[in-house]
Amino acid sequence: MTKDSKDVIRETDAQAIRLAHQLVRTARSGSLAVLDPSTGYPLASRVGVATDADGAPLILVSQLSAHTPAITADPRCSLLLGQPGKGDPLAHPRVTLVCRAERLEPGSPADTRARRRYLNRNPKAGLYIGLGDFVIFRLEPERASLNGGFGKAYLLDRDDLLLTGPAVDALAEAEQDALDHMNADHLDAIDAIARHLAGAADADWRMTGIDVEGFDIAAGDDIDRVFFPEPLANAGALRSVLVDLARNARGQ
């Protein structure tokens, strides 16, 4: 989105889009706001978060929670993501996504992929994800408001937020095998890439998700992200890109 010259909103550029993607992909939880069907008032609650292959947020919720019947009755919702950190919480980046919630049909291909990606990001959810009252919602972003800190406000639209193209689904099909291979045989490469190319802290990093734009890593409760130099044109390019990243990281 572009801005009016008199507006306080900055022009959306590649750096702002990358920051928004970073915030969404590295979120472990977020504040979900829905409309209470009984009162019409906003209702906010904390939810665990993962992302689909294209970057859309995924939430796993109990049907006994107040927000679940609310987004079932009215799918309009918003999701606030971003960790405050030390000091003034308003000085830290955050993004608010305006979305429409779509409940994924249990057992469908979309639900199976979403559950896999959610568990890779949030392994402790394995304790309850199989219970009958838990369902996955995909939050379809329509637009977003990004605040990168004081004086750094941007408006983003759907095209800024989601990855598109045939490579997105193709890589999602190959993703789990790649994750298992990297985490079983190449933890040293993941660590080198994380520390030397992404500036991550020294930790026991593991890959938790791969998409055409980059990959997510986790070490305990810490989450970070590594962006590829360029988005992958096809799933077959993944191996060579990872090899190049590892070689470059070890040369630092």
CA atoms of 114 and 129, how far apart (whole Å): 11
Regarding whether 69 and 136 lie in a shared domain, the answer is: yes
The domain that contains 203 carries what CATH number? Answer: 3.20.180.10
Structure token pair of residue 125: 């959810």
By residue count, the chain amounts to: 252
Q: What is the CATH number of the domain that holds 99?
A: 2.30.110.10
Residues 214 and 120 grouped into a single domain: no
The parts of the chain modelled with pLDDT lower than 50 are 2-3, 5
**How high is the pLDDT of residue 75?**
97
Residue 43: inside a domain: yes
pLDDT at residue 83, rounded to an integer: 82
Per-residue model confidence (pLDDT) at position 123: 94
Q: Cα separation of 221 and 92, whole Å?
A: 19
Where does a domain end: 101, 133, 161?
Answer: 161
pLDDT of residue 86: 83
pLDDT at position 87 is 84
- pLDDT for 132: 83
Measured CA to CA, the distance from residue 50 to residue 24 in angstroms comes to 8
Following DSSP, what letter does each residue of 43-93 receive, concatenated? EEEEEEEEE-TTS-EEEEEETTSTHHHHHHH--EEEEEE----SS-GGGS-
